[in-house]
Amino acid sequence: MSVAEKHASRFNFRRLWALVQKESLQVVRDPSTILIAFVLPVVMLFLFAYAVSLDTQEVPIGIVLESDSAAAQSLAAAFSGTRYFTVTPARDRREVAGEVVGGRLRGYVVIPQDFDQRLASGARPPLVQIITDGAQPNTASFVANYAQGVIKIWQSAHSPAVGSVLSLEPRFWFNPEIESRRFLVPGAIAIIMTIIGTLLTALVVAREWERGTMEAIMSTPASVVEILVGKLLPYFVLGLGATVISALLAITVFGVPLRGSWLTLLSLSSVFLVPALGQGLLISAVTKNQFIAAQIALLSGFLPAFLLSGYLFEIDSMPAPLRVLTYVIPARYFVSSLQTVFLAGDIWTLLLPNMLAMLAIGIVFFAVALAKTTKSLDN
């Protein structure tokens, strides 16, 4: 009796341990949890890395060679030589025009008959026509820009005198090849962690309410803090596990460098899990229903992390109200931190403020969740 009463009072590690054990067993036995924690990251990484590539490569275009001169030939060869285009050669623009209309080519470049003469004369610069498929504006501008780039490079190589005296040589730091995968993959880890942290916790706490086990647990001397912490610890470990798997994939399969240290990466993930788990906890404390919890977790966790974190769309180019909104989205700080630690290194002056921001948001979530989860079935 007296023993039991002593236990009732304060935070008790034996009870916490019992709850952690219980939760871990449930995690291990529930195939859907394992699926979300370990299979989903792999699938998502592959999807994000391949499907959401912002680079365009091997765009099919036509080259209409109306001239047979050596210069024209070498310009055409410059087009075929770049990995950005796959080229369909033609003699007459009518051959390729139909293909552009049919959507099989994204555009075509016409090297006109008088290309050589103009080039030789120098007075009137040669005219090269670029036709693009404006129905897909992004690809169209890509074709136009890259075609111009190819021509410029060819021009300066072919006749340095004709080209501008000043030659620009852009260099992209951190991602020299400006490969979008390099910054998409670290960002994807943030999305995955949001799903694991927020969705999974929202579901499992709501499940306890639905199955009536929360009521049974609450009627024991276990305190709210013990119940919540016991719930979160296993998912915290699960979240870190998912980070490790995602990072390993990123490095080995997608060739993303990890310029910072693993320790930094893991501490960043740990800090991010605070707001992610807190948000999940809050959602399930309010809804107590798995279906609604899943909906809210997707709407308030996944979508903002996807759209407003700077992962896909640059925050600087968002309208001001949205830009303000991004400050309360923990994924925003995590995405930029991940990009830093992967592509630049352990730059603490950048990472620390981000970590502090995530912690602050997390503490707010936890405070509200704790206030909402009283050890009572009222409300």
In the complex with another protein, the residue whose CB is nearer, 74 or 220, is 220
Q: Which of 18, 52, 224, 307 binds another protein (CB under 8 A)?
A: 18
Min. distance of Cβ 17 from another protein in angstroms? 7
Contacts of 329 (CB under 8 A, 6+ apart): 304, 305, 308, 309
Per-residue three-class SS string for 73-96? HHHHHHHHHCCCEEEEEECCHHHH
Contacts of 30 (CB under 8 A, 6+ apart): none
Quick check: 17 binds another protein (CB under 8 A)?
yes
Quick check: 5 binds another protein (CB under 8 A)?
yes
Piece of 10-18, 58-66, 286-294, 365-373 that binds another protein (CB under 8 A):
10-18
Q: Which of 4, 51, 161, 263 binds another protein (CB under 8 A)?
A: 4
Quick check: 9 binds another protein (CB under 8 A)?
yes
Measured in degrees and rounded to the nearest 5, phi and psi for residue 109 equal -115, 130
In the complex with another protein, the residue whose CB is nearer, 217 or 240, is 217
In the complex with another protein, the residue whose CB is nearer, 211 or 323, is 211
Q: Which of 1, 51, 166, 263 binds another protein (CB under 8 A)?
A: 1
Tell me which DSSP letter residue 343 carries.
I
What residues between 202 and 221 interact with another protein by CB under 8 A?
211-213, 215-221
Tell me which DSSP letter residue 61 carries.
E
Beta strands in 13-119 (DSSP E): 59-65, 85-90, 107-111
Alpha helices in 220-329 (DSSP H): 224-252, 262-287, 290-297, 303-307, 320-325
Give how many residues touch another protein by CB under 8 A: 35
Cβ burial, residue 101 (10 Å; 0-12/13-18/19+): exposed
* C-alpha span between 108 and 88 (Å, rounded): 9
What residues between 19 and 38 interact with another protein by CB under 8 A?
19, 21-22, 25-26, 29-30
Min. distance of Cβ 375 from another protein in angstroms? 7
Binding mask 343-362 for another protein (x = CB under 8 A): --------------------
Q: Is 201 helix (H, G, I), strand (E, B) or coil?
A: helix
Q: Report the DSSP pairing between strands 59-65 and 85-90.
A: parallel
In the complex with another protein, the residue whose CB is nearer, 26 or 139, is 26
Residues lying near another protein in the complex (CB under 8 A): 1, 3-9, 12, 14-15, 17-19, 21-22, 25-26, 29-30, 211-213, 215-222, 375-378
